[in-house]
Amino acid sequence: MSPKRKPTARSPRQGPARSGGAEGNERLTAMTGAVLLILLAVECYTILRIGRLLTLHVFLGMLLLGPVTLKAGSVIYRFARYYTRSEPYRRKGPPALLLRLIGPIIVLLTACVFGSGIMLAVTGPSYGPPSGWLVVHRISFFAWLFFIAIHVVTYVPRLPRLLAAEARRPMVVLGGRSTRLALLIGSLLGGLVIALLTVHLAGPWQ
């Protein structure tokens, strides 16, 4: 009769290994950021031809709500874990000081851009002087564009490394990979549902 094995103590790293921990959070942020980079580039292009591409502009704006919410959530989660002194997040360290300073500004301006865009779609055009929502939408967009350019220039060089690490299939894969993919797909599907239900709001603006 073989001797019984003594139960081994659970390693404190097993939890982060399953969920991905701080590294998994960084990869989720990078994956979502890459998708947003593409969608936002197309959305900005529609502004240049807003007369002809207004419906696409509204559709993409609503679609973006899903991944924008996911990225904001992943970033806020990282900050919360860091400032509550979670060891893996403390080891990874905070972003550069400039990015920490403009981070809340970007979140606020993003809320202003999308919030005012939603209100414009819901309330419809005003036949006269520009409505207050349109003024807020324009001003907040240009301010957002300035700060997001700093953010993109800083983080884009890191994207290839993070995306390649997530895409390849080594012997040991960072935990939480399926969860990260499910969250990204879910955010896109959620945004797509919102876009399909609200795209008709572009009609009065034609």
Instruction: Locate the domains of the chain by residue range.
Output: 22-166+176-205
Task: Kindly tell me if the per-residue pLDDT of 1 is higher than 80.
Answer: no
Q: How far apart are CA 138 and CA 142, in angstroms?
A: 6
Average confidence (pLDDT) over 82-106: 85
Q: What is the pTM of this model?
A: 0.83
pLDDT per residue as tens digits for the range 123-182: 988 776 667 899 999 999 999 999 999 999 988 888 888 888 887 755 445 567 888 999
Q: How far apart are CA 46 and CA 41, in angstroms?
A: 9
Per-residue confidence (pLDDT) for residue 60, from 0 to 100: 97
Cα torsion at 160, 162, 163, 165 (round to 10°)? 110
